Amino acid sequence: MTPAGVLPGADASWQVVDLPDSQAVQRHEGSYFGERHGFEAPFHWYRLELPATLAGDADLGLLLPRYADRVRVYLNGERIARSFHEDDRVEHGWNRPFFARLPADALRGEHTVLMLALDSPYLGRVQLSRPRVGPVDRIDALYARHHALRIFSAQLATGILATIAVLAFGIWLARPRETLHLLMGLASASFAVRQAHFFVVVPWVSPEWFWWLAVSSMAWAMCLVLLLALYYYRQPGTPPGGRPDGQMDSQMGGQLGGRLEAALIAAAVFVTLLTLPGVGVDAYRHAGLIYTALAPIAVIGGFVLLKRALRAPGLPQVLLAGGFLINLLLNLHDLAIQQRWTSIERPFLGPIGAVLMCGSFIVALMARYVQSLADVAALNRDLEVRVADRQRELERTHARLRAATAEQAKAEERQRLMREIHDGIGAQLSTALAASERGGHADAAALRTLRAAIADLKLTVDSLEPVDGDLPSLLGNLRYRLTPQLRQAGIAVKWEVSPLPPLVWLQAPQALHILRLLQEAFSNLIQHADADTVRVASGTSNDPEGVWVEISDDGCGIDAQVEAKGRGLANMHERARLLGGHLDVGPAQPRGTRVCLWLPLRAAMRD
């Protein structure tokens, strides 16, 4: 070691050291960081003798994968390159690879001496990796790989993280209730600020504030990422592979969330205040201790996420736990490099871990949104089915209302017709009959015709009454109307009508057909049978399923030729056919005539 700007003399005593070397300041000043001497910091010299085999007609290339914090290159006592541009400006080079060209005319075969002078105006420490010397093209290609891995990866990570932050903040501004997007934006922004110190040469602000941002942003990035994971599980809904009711997620967020969230926020605030320039300790000098203290909290967070992923496997759970654990391992790798637990030549992988973690978190959010969209689609399909069911039910209700309205209109019309017939034609016929009977001169046939007309009119009025499928009630009304006529004709009636199942199709039009058919049967009986007794019975049949009504008498029976030629019987058969049933007319036992009407239980009336 020499004072700033002084080259080693011929009598300088050199020590043999192994490269990479990070103990130079500790050997000379007793501390890893040493004193901050400013721009008058002493030079730490490394002397290398190049083998004669490297000398030739072509220039050589020199690569230093890592050094701290400034380096000057001397070839045979002449300075040929340096890593910084201005002598009195802080330019960080601790993570930047360095390339220099060694001119061929300066190489002296067996006596070529390469010396590297390192100083550290701000950082206060000196580190040097193993130099690579060889043909320019090979060294330049090697430099490009180191630059891409150490510098470009951090720049790319910062750009990706900043983009993620902008998108997340944009979504949050559009939907302020989405806390996950706010946390995602803050976490990505913290990681973006964190990655800057890997590639920024000249700090944006003073070096003290720059390193304060680098250290405190790491604490906030870890805090926000774990908060994001906890809030993710605390949100309503179920990620794929989770419990259907989300109860486990809420319990995890509630039980662990309170204590862990408080610890995370407290740690981030403590680190921020502890390293505040002018108030707390030096952020750069104590960064290793701070990162080591934060590591257990990050490990606990990773354990929580891993336990959740193992307890309820699913894509979002695996992504959250896997992304966080990968980032944790890569940052522990960086911590080992920083604390010199492993070779300082290893590249820092934290920027790659941050991108992988944030990317996995985004995919987890997307998986959740995809699941939410699937749930919404399923809900929409269910709603469509329910709406269709409600629509069909509404249409059925409207149909019933229309039918009820039409039925009410028909009922009102029937009532009107019944009043008109009863008070109009019926009253006039009754008055004419009463006048004819009082006068004593009326023809007997005319009186019978008037009585039959009145009975027929009453039967028509009866058919207008609501039936609602009740055939026995219809037969009861018929009995009430025809009993006086049968009694006047001297015919006794045996009524054996049993309860019958309702005929769902039996309404006023069908009732009129049945009454007319049975009225015709009784009319034939009164006029032609010469019977003393008539029997009316009813019952049900199973094959085919239906009901039957039978009228039989003990009269003289029916002539087959008369039956074949009679128009009345033909009308009776036609009415039975229109009702969907059939009519049987034949001799009764031991004598007389039997008329049996069979009606279906559920068939509708034919056209």
DSSP states along 550-593: EEEE-SS---HHHHHH-HHHHHHHHHHHHTT-EEEEEE-SSSSE
Longest CA pairwise span in the chain (Å): 174
pLDDT score, position 178: 83
Distance CA 272, CA 65 (A): 32
Distance of alpha carbon 358 from its chain centroid, rounded? Answer: 22
* DSSP code, position 424: I
Sign of CA dihedral 587, 590, 595, 601: negative
Q: Provide CATH code, domain 147-376.
A: 1.20.1070
In one-letter notation, the amino acid at residue 383 is: L
pLDDT score of 603 more than 80 = no
pLDDT category, 434, cuts 50, 70, 90? Answer: low
Q: What is the mean pLDDT of residues 246-263?
A: 58
Domains 24-130 and 471-600 share a fold: no
pLDDT score of 252 more than 50 = no
* Cα 446 to Cα 425, 480, 521, distances in angstroms: 17, 23, 22
- pLDDT tens track for 280-322: 898 988 888 999 998 998 898 888 888 888 888 888 888 888 9
pLDDT score, position 214: 93
Residue 598 three-state SS: strand
pLDDT score of 593 more than 70 = yes
pLDDT score, position 221: 92
Q: Which two tokens stand for residue 395?
A: 């249409």
In one-letter notation, the amino acid at residue 1 is: M
Specify whether the CB–CB gap between 337 and 344 falls below 8 A. yes
Q: Residue 225: name the closest of 175, 270, 260, 275 by CA.
A: 260
pLDDT category, 418, cuts 50, 70, 90? Answer: low
Distance CA 226, CA 301 (A): 6
- pLDDT tens track for 371-384: 888 888 999 999 99
Specify whether the CB–CB gap between 144 and 325 falls below 8 A. no
* DSSP code, position 71: E
pLDDT score of 210 more than 60 = yes
Q: Residue 40: name the closest of 117, 118, 122, 121 by CA.
A: 121
Distance CA 366, CA 169 (A): 16
What residues have CB less than 8 Å from 357, skipping those under 6 apart?
225, 323, 324, 326, 327
End-to-end CA distance of the chain: 121
- pLDDT tens track for 573-592: 888 898 888 999 888 888 88
The alpha carbons of the chain give a radius of gyration, in whole angstroms, of: 55
- Average pLDDT of the chain? 84
Let me know the angle formed at the C-alpha of 90 by 46 and 73, rounded to the nearest 5 degrees: 25
* Cα 181 to Cα 143, 174, 184, 304, 343, distances in angstroms: 39, 10, 5, 21, 39
Distance CA 331, CA 370 (A): 31
Q: Please report, for the chain, the start and end positions of each structural domain, with discontinuous segments joined by +.
A: 24-130, 147-376, 471-600
Number of CB atoms found within 10 A of residue 51's CB: 10
**9, containing H or E segment:** none
Sign of CA dihedral 398, 401, 403, 406: negative
Sign of CA dihedral 314, 318, 320, 321: positive
**347, containing H or E segment:** none
Fold of the CATH domain 471-600: Heat Shock Protein 90 (3.30.565)
pLDDT score of 150 more than 90 = yes
Q: What is the mean pLDDT of residues 172-176?
A: 91
Question: Is the model more confident about 330 or about 510?
Answer: 330
Distance CA 179, CA 216 (A): 22
DSSP string of 349-387, one letter each residue: -HHHHHHHHHHHHHHHHHHHHHHHHHHHHHHHHHHHHHH
Q: What is the mean pLDDT of residues 364-376?
A: 82
pLDDT score, position 390: 92
**461, containing H or E segment:** helix 444-463
Q: Side by side, which strands form the sheet with 70-75?
A: 44-49, 113-119, 70-75, 78-82
Instruction: Classify domain 24-130 by CATH architecture.
Output: Sandwich (2.60)
Distance CA 31, CA 361 (A): 41
**507, containing H or E segment:** none
Range name among 56-70, 256-270, 376-390 with the lowest pLDDT average: 256-270
φ and ψ of 557, to 5 deg: 90, 180
Which letter, b or e, does each residue of 100-139 get, where b requires 16 or more Cβ atoms within 10 Å of its Cβ? bebeeebbeeeebebbbbbbbbbbbbbbbbebbbeeeeeb
Distance CA 36, CA 29 (A): 11
Q: What is the mean pLDDT of residues 255-284?
A: 84
* DSSP code, position 534: E
Q: What is the mean pLDDT of residues 442-446?
A: 66
Distance CA 446, CA 429 (A): 12
Question: Is the model more confident about 245 or about 26?
Answer: 26
Specify whether the CB–CB gap between 97 and 62 falls below 8 A. no
- pLDDT tens track for 461-493: 666 666 677 888 888 888 887 888 788 888 888
Q: Which two tokens stand for residue 219?
A: 């604490």
Bond into 65 cis (ω within 30): no
- pLDDT tens track for 215-238: 999 999 999 998 888 888 876 544
pLDDT category, 556, cuts 50, 70, 90? Answer: confident
Specify whether the CB–CB gap between 43 and 5 falls below 8 A. yes
pLDDT score, position 442: 59
Distance CA 437, CA 571 (A): 33
pLDDT score, position 389: 93
Q: Which two tokens stand for residue 87?
A: 């002598």
CA dihedral 25, 27, 30, 31 (to 10 degrees): 40
Q: Residue 566: name the closest of 593, 548, 589, 606 by CA.
A: 593
Interhelix angle 444-463/508-524, rounded to 10 degrees, is 150
**What percent of the chain has a predicted confidence (pLDDT) above 90?**
36
pLDDT score, position 247: 44
pLDDT category, 555, cuts 50, 70, 90? Answer: confident
Range name among 171-175, 499-503, 599-603 with the lowest pLDDT average: 599-603
Residue with tokens 């998986």: 367
